[in-house]
Amino acid sequence: MSRSRTLHRTSLLAGIPDELARFGDLVRSLDPEQLGSPTRCAGWTAAAVAGHVVGIVVDVSAGRLDGQGSPEVTARQADERAGRTASELANELARATPALTALLASLPTDAWDGPSLTDPRYTMAFAVEALWFDAYLHADDIRAAIGTPSERGSGLRCAVHHVAGYLEARGWRPATLAFEGIERIDVCGGGEEITGDPLCFVLAATGRADPSELGLDAGVDVYAD
């Protein structure tokens, strides 16, 4: 089970509903043409990405955890919402978010360091953090597709921490993430500093950008086999 650093429970319980609210606002603002825009997630439109994120929240809030994160479940979440308007997607997310927030708040404090119910290789805290990470990253996928600027702030900080957790679990290599505006994060005990734009790092580490532009190799991609 990964014991990688995650954000504190208090930060997660506050940050997740806030990120989901921003995601809902973004989706609600999309016109039909923007919903159909292709994203950097190959084969996925902005509408499909939005449907997937909404589907995660709906599933988890209802206790449907089996297969979360798998290609089959991800596709099912998007397919179930195909053809919905931006308002319909945003409204479904808004309805499901309070139940998710209540569920996460109800988890016993000691459960956060225990194994995730979806993947025992990781802690429950890491699985919860993934909800914030996914919402932030997929919002950026949509923003990139429609040509609007990325957001940074607390969502980006969460994404850097979450990527660090994946790299730690994969036994990547000793490194220290030293990005301006984000506390230093040691990976595998710490080592050579990685600097630059933290968003570019997250994009490279999730297969969305060329890692060589940061002086990194393909091993930084947490989704690579």
The residue out of 151, 172, 207 marking a domain boundary is: 151
Higher pLDDT, 104 or 1: 104
CB 139 within 8 A of CB 185: no
DSSP assignment of 149-218: PPP-HHHHHHHHHHHHHHHHHTT---EEE--TTS--EEETT--EEE-S-HHHHHHHHTTSS-GGGGT--G
First and final CA of the chain: distance in angstroms?
A: 19
The residue segments making up the domain with residue 145 are 1-151
Instruction: Write down the pLDDT at residue 151.
Output: 96
Looking at the structure, tell me whether residues 78 and 144 fall in a common domain.
Answer: yes
Pairing relationship of beta strands 185-187 and 175-177 according to DSSP bridges: antiparallel
DSSP assignment of 123-157: BHHHHHHHHHHHHHHHHHHHHHHHT-PPP-HHHHH
Looking at the structure, tell me whether residues 143 and 215 fall in a common domain.
Answer: no
Percentage of the chain beyond pLDDT 70 is 97
Looking at the structure, tell me whether residues 124 and 52 fall in a common domain.
Answer: yes
Looking at the structure, tell me whether residues 220 and 112 fall in a common domain.
Answer: no
pLDDT at 132 over 60: yes
pLDDT at 225 over 90: no
Instruction: Write down the pLDDT at residue 1.
Output: 43
Looking at the structure, tell me whether residues 38 and 145 fall in a common domain.
Answer: yes
Looking at the structure, tell me whether residues 6 and 106 fall in a common domain.
Answer: yes
Looking at the structure, tell me whether residues 140 and 209 fall in a common domain.
Answer: no
Q: Amino acid identity of 91? A: N
Cα three-residue angle 220-223-225, rounded to 5 degrees: 90
The residue out of 151, 167, 194 marking a domain boundary is: 151
CATH number for the domain that contains residue 95: 1.20.120.450
The residue out of 151, 172, 202 marking a domain boundary is: 151
Number of compact structural domains in the chain: 2
Looking at the structure, tell me whether residues 36 and 132 fall in a common domain.
Answer: yes
Instruction: Write down the pLDDT at residue 5.
Output: 64
Looking at the structure, tell me whether residues 1 and 79 fall in a common domain.
Answer: yes
**pLDDT tens, position by position, 43-91:** 999 999 999 999 999 999 999 999 998 999 999 999 999 999 999 999 9
145 CB neighbour count, 10 Å cutoff: 21
Mean pLDDT of the region 161-165: 96
Instruction: Write down the pLDDT at residue 4.
Output: 53
Looking at the structure, tell me whether residues 125 and 207 fall in a common domain.
Answer: no
How many residues comprise the chain?
225
**How far is residue 219's CA from residue 78's CA, in Å, rounded to a whole number?**
29
Looking at the structure, tell me whether residues 38 and 8 fall in a common domain.
Answer: yes
Alpha-carbon torsion angle 27, 28, 33, 37, nearest 10: 0
Instruction: Write down the pLDDT at residue 2.
Output: 46
Mean pLDDT of the region 86-106: 97
Looking at the structure, tell me whether residues 144 and 196 fall in a common domain.
Answer: no
